[in-house]
Chains A and B, each alone.
Chain A
Amino acid sequence: MEPVVEVRGLVNRFGRQLVHDGLDMQVHADEVFGIVGGSGSGKSVLLRTILGLQRPAAGTVRIHGSDITRLSEEELRPIKAGYGVAFQQGALYSGLTVLENVQLPMIEHLQLPPAALDGLALLKIRLVGLPADAAGKYPAQLSGGMVKRAAVARALALDPQLLFLDEPTSGLDPVSAAAFDDLVLYLQQHLKLTIVMITHDLDSIFRTCNRVGVIVDRRMESDTLEGIVDYPHPWIQAYFHGERARARLGALHGA
């Protein structure tokens, strides 16, 4: 089956600094794919490239088979409507309420009567576990965890099959982070989503991801979670076998 997202031979450079050099990545339907890498390894640049916010120096990025690096803004529109993105800081529009934030993509892409707009937006807000009265609040009035959830609600506005999450659990307390992981799994199962998630959070990775891609040396090593932990690369070893990872790994192998 054709991969949902396929990156081939990606090269990104800023001035003389090479960020990606022949990076390959494949995400298949119905999986949760985690992108891991050290700070400054180019995770965000990779995401921005996949989202079409930045043109790569070389390489192809295919989403549902079409190469977005060769498409015009106009041709990209339907593809962009086909995925949702929740940014790291939420990136909620601060002048709009949560309800209006969720409605904005719908207004841009769908012609809906007002009652349907309200109903659908409220459904998305409730679906991500926010109370109904959060709908009328402005982003500045929300807690960090609620902002992340509201960002997911907005990402789901157009019922995408593909969801990008940029460090969804960063800045959350462990309890909220675990609840967010549950939300990711819940949405993935019930809406049959394909999820691409940038994360540093080992708990998140072990809880939610089917496959993991690690950016090392400007390329990506990807495998199943069970497979990737045994890769010999020193950074991968340090990441999955460091002090903080031991306990988790025991649970994985014990199971």
Chain B
Amino acid sequence: MAATVPRAQAVEVRRTAEGLELELTGAWRAREVAAIETALAAVDLSSVPRVRVATDGITELDLSGAWALGGFVRRARRAGVEVSFRGTPPDLLRLIEQTLAEEPAGAVSPAAAAAPEPADRALVAIGRYVVRSARDLVHGLAFLGRTCTTFAASLAHPRRLRPISVVRHVYDTGITAMPIVALIAFLISVILAYLSAQQLRGLGADIYVVDLVTIGVLRELGVLLTSIIVAGRSGSAFAAELGSMRLNEEVDALTATGADPIELLVVPRLLGLAIALPLLTILADLIGISGGALLCRYLLDMPLTQYVNRVNYAISPSTFWVGIIKAPVFALVIAFAGCYRGMQVRGSARVLGHLVTVAVVQAIFLVILADALFAVLFMKMQF
């Protein structure tokens, strides 16, 4: 085995009476192809009638090296130069010629798709985007419809609601999310309390810190932040899980055995999350209010009894319900975005990654959009 690489000039050119004499030396391997190409390109073929190539100086020749040599020979012949070999030409050259000769070379270039005129490009891109978005919307609605009808159909037969599967999803999306949801709720109440204390102290309105923290957490922030965390955690998990099942043809296998993937995979996830998210929201509310109490006690020196009294005064049951009623809606939005994008996966790992990203981004966007709509709705209803 030649362990060391002989770094010789690949091509020695001699000018003789009847043309060029090329003495090829050194190793002609894949690793040296870049250098070889440069050396061959430097050979001046203008006004040369014939070239004689000597290959016996080559210490090692592999397919890539032979390809470079073959390319040179073709270039020379196209330029009208007669090419001959001293001794027999390497076998690999024949192999390459055979391989490439079977089809007209360059007949089909892989990247030769019809590119639109530069002037049209923006227009074409916009058109494609619109068509794709419209189609996506239609497909999304169709999926939503199928999910709803499947759910309605399985309501008549409770066994088809897959209780065991639902419980598993409640555990995966709810119980395991408790620590992070609690931590975030606590930190949010700290931020709210600090922010409002700083502003309200100057006005001597310390007591309103309690109102701000409790109403803020109960009405909006508790449910919203929990939903965003869950969208990142479980929306992506749904999309990735269903997506890889698609890639693995598991979904097709289900369909082939006569099972409905929507009933088996999608509905339990929707139900599971619709149960888990309200429970997580209650946890976030509790922790948020307790966090507020802690802050008021140590930051504003407010006795705990005063805090509790103020909380009782500031909020009514409807404050809690306004927040909690949004949770199942957000849960369905998140689970639907995750499942729909997951079921869309086809073909490759790249598509999977893209669709998981889309699932999470859309879930978060739709949650915030729905929250805004709720805010308007509740204001009109004077809740």
Contact = CB atoms under 8 A, between A and B. Distances in A.
Contacts of A2: 1
Contact of A112 (B33, B65, B110, B350): B33
Given A65-B1, A123-B63, A112 B348 contact: no
Contacts of B99: 123, 126-127
A64 interface: yes
A116 B1 contact: no
A120 interface: yes
Interface in B8-34: 29-31, 33-34
Contacts of A99: 110
Contacts of B351: 95
Given A119-B71, A190-B91, A191-B63, A110 B349 contact: no
Interface stretch (B100-108, B165-173, B230-238, B305-313): B100-108
A132 B108 contact: yes
A106 B30 contact: yes
Nearest to B106: A132
B103 A110 contact: no
Contacts of B196: none
A140 B350 CA distance: 12
Contacts, number: 79
A106 B33 CA distance: 11
B347 A159 contact: no
B111 interface: yes
Contacts of A93: 349
- Which of B34, B99, B350 is most buried by chain A, counting CB atoms within 10 A of its CB? B99
Contacts of A116: 33-34, 37, 68
A97 B347 contact: no
A94 B110 CA distance: 17
Interface string B86-123: 00000110011001101100011011000000000000
A171 interface: no
Contacts of B34: 110-113, 116
Interface in A113-159: 113, 116, 119-120, 123-124, 126-127, 131-133, 135-136, 138-140, 156, 158-159
B58 to A, nearest CB: 14
B33 A133 contact: no
Given A116-B68, A132-B107, A95 B29 contact: no
A94 to B, nearest CB: 3
A156 B96 CA distance: 14
- Which of B100, B110, B348 is most buried by chain A, counting CB atoms within 10 A of its CB? B110
B350 A94 contact: yes
Contact of B103 (A106, A111, A131, A191): A131
Contacts of B91: 190
B97 to A, nearest CB: 11
B186 interface: no
A79 to B, nearest CB: 12
Interface residues of A, number: 34
A97 to B, nearest CB: 7
B67 interface: yes
A120 B349 contact: no
Contact of B67 (A94, A109, A123): A123
A122 to B, nearest CB: 8
A159 B96 contact: no
A136 B348 contact: no
Contact of B348 (A94, A109, A124): A94
A30 to B, nearest CB: 14
Contacts of A120: 30, 33, 64, 67
Given A120-B64, A123-B100, A95 B33 contact: no
B62 interface: yes
Contact of B30 (A95, A119, A133, A158): A158
Contacts of A139: 348
Nearest to B108: A133
Interface in B324-364: 346-351
Contacts of A140: 346-348
A191 to B, nearest CB: 6
Contacts of B92: 190-191
B312 to A, nearest CB: 58
Contact of B96 (A110, A113, A123): A123
| Closest 3 A/B residue pairs (Cβ) | A136-B110, A94-B348, A95-B350
Interface of A: 2, 64-65, 93-95, 97, 99, 106, 109-113, 116, 119-120, 123-124, 126-127, 131-133, 135-136, 138-140, 156, 158-159, 190-191
Given A116-B33, A159-B62, 19 more contacts: A64-B1, A65-B1, A95-B350, A109-B30, A110-B30, A110-B34, A116-B34, A126-B103, A127-B95, A127-B99, A133-B108, A135-B110, A139-B348, A140-B346, A140-B347, A158-B30, A159-B29, A159-B30, A159-B64
20 contacts: A64-B1, A94-B349, A95-B348, A95-B349, A95-B350, A106-B30, A110-B31, A110-B33, A113-B34, A116-B34, A120-B33, A120-B67, A123-B67, A132-B107, A133-B108, A136-B111, A138-B347, A140-B347, A159-B63, A190-B95
